[in-house]
Structure 1
Amino acid sequence: MAVGTLDPASPEYAWVASVVDRVSELAGRTARWNGTVVVTDEAGQEAARRRAGQIGADSFYTAADKIALSEEQAATVREAIERSGQASSDPAEAQRRWDDMMTVTGAVGAQAIRLTGPQAQDTGRVAGYEGDLDRGLGQVWTRENLREIFNGSESARLVPAEGVPIRRALTEQDSSGRATYQALAALKLVGRETWRPAAEAADPLIATPPDLRFQAMVESIAGSEDVAADDLRNVSTWTFRQDLGAALTTRDPEAARAAAHDAVNKTVNEIDRLAPSPDREIPAETARFANDPAQAAPGSAATPQADRSTAAQTIDRQPDLREL
């Protein structure tokens, strides 16, 4: 399909609208989509990403409220429309069509959910790392809701499930999506300890102005409520934003996950330093070890305060969740 703007009267445009409508319905918020759908080539996509997110930089941009498709994605939609409702007798072909349509549905869904959130408080301007986190949150939310988006939009009619060997829900997730999920897990907003769906954790952040999201994540850390407002703002703006932002823009998805985990751990330690909690519950085994006089350094006398400090230092407040 040619590069340019989709005709609002075209079937491709109607498909995009059905996905945006379904996402708005699931989120309970109307997307601020301006009604424009653009098809771009690969070079145009990369240029748009750099203009929008200014990868790795802190320059500002005005968020565009359009939906973008690559030429390949647009071709997938065109094929689905031309073969609308037709099941394939070849299992491999049926699987390919299903996977391709599921992926492009996820790509549009991830853009649409981002448009259900508010614009930045700074007159609709968002810095680079805010744009990267926005993209990551959109991917996390869409990954979990993809099947609902597919079944509730024109996608399910265009590519029926009949004859598809594995009806899997596939969506692309780049470094920003991997790092965002890992950060939510390390903050214990999702994962084994909570069994909270990732989309449920991402949604309130999507509904938060982009320039306030890093601080909102820091405020979820236990003890942050005891940190002075100026200190908390500095931790959010400098320590956490810079470290997680670097993870969001890392090219290697696995390295991005590890960097996001480390960014959260570093911030948790900073919160502990600024708001020490001597009354924090300490595991019994750790407390016994810390209070054992035999464990005191030669020539030193153990004190209750020293014991609490030693015990606190042994607590692994953020277990390694990289394998989630």
Structure 2
Amino acid sequence: MELHDVWFVLIAVLWTGYFFLEGFDFGVGVLTKLLARDRREKRVLVNTIGPVWDGNEVWLLSAGGATFAAFPDWYATLFSGFYLPLLLILVCLIVRGVAFEYRAKRSDDRWQTNWEHAIFWCSLLPAFLWGVAFGNIVHGVAIDADKEYIGGVLDLLNPYALLGGLVTLTLFTFHGTVFVGLKTVGEVRERARALALRLGALTAVAALGFLLWTQADHGKTAGAVLLAVAVLALLAALGAVAKGREGWAFALSGLTIVASVAMLFVSLFPDVMPSTLDPAWSLTAANSASSPYTLKIMTWCAGIATPVVLLYQGWTYWVFRKRIGTHHIAEAH
């Protein structure tokens, strides 16, 4: 296996990790309006991700940085062609982080309400837009012989990509609902379980349609296996939710995300951005990669730094593993 193929796999792992972690993160943000009944319950939901949300976003920085260094042509075409949706995602992530930190700085009702709106919308929009972006990456876009995207923003809003956005939004929200059930006690936990059962059915329909469409377009054996894993894991997650086994439900909903993202990358390879104008103009792992020397240095750096980051993040989740409820929230909030 060539180094550029190794880095394609590594970048797939980084994006998978990001969607697994930031997926429930976005889902909890969406649930601040779907699940919480009052301000105290909203505080409970935010507190479930308070110690970890910024660490989850490190995976996005790592995925973007690795793409820039390992596949500069891929990075350039992607971030120039998808400039507006990716800029909107970036703005949402910035505003969302500020909202987490600033919401409780003042007791004024209007102040807190505005930041709560920001948390909701800046969680919902990225959850949807990431699906649209990856739907277009897998489906292919108008790339010319100079490796430049020559389409417009509206071209990105095609049916396949929009369905991908619906899948990521519903799947991340389901993942977040299961996470809330795992991390809370009392009424919030019970309502999260009930909502997860209803939301899971919608997620299953949307995900099955999107993955079957992907398989029909690409028809790879590995993709079919991953499709089956994703669907069975989602159904098993629903069964675990019904039995009140939140730990298993969270692991299985996470497996659904992992298998789904892996299927997209398997369907994509060896391309990294297919061209709908001419297959010969597609960006591939080979023709968009950095030099072998650059990839070699990156491999050594990643081999040293990655275990340290994983150990630190795992330790963070272990420290903040206990459940919380409304009785943990001070009256002032």
TM over 0.5: no
Q: TM-score, normalised by structure 2?
A: 0.27
Larger-Rg structure: 1
Which has the bigger relative contact order, CA under 8 A and spacing at least 6?
A: 2
Q: TM-score, normalised by structure 1?
A: 0.28
Structure richer in helix, relative to its length: 2
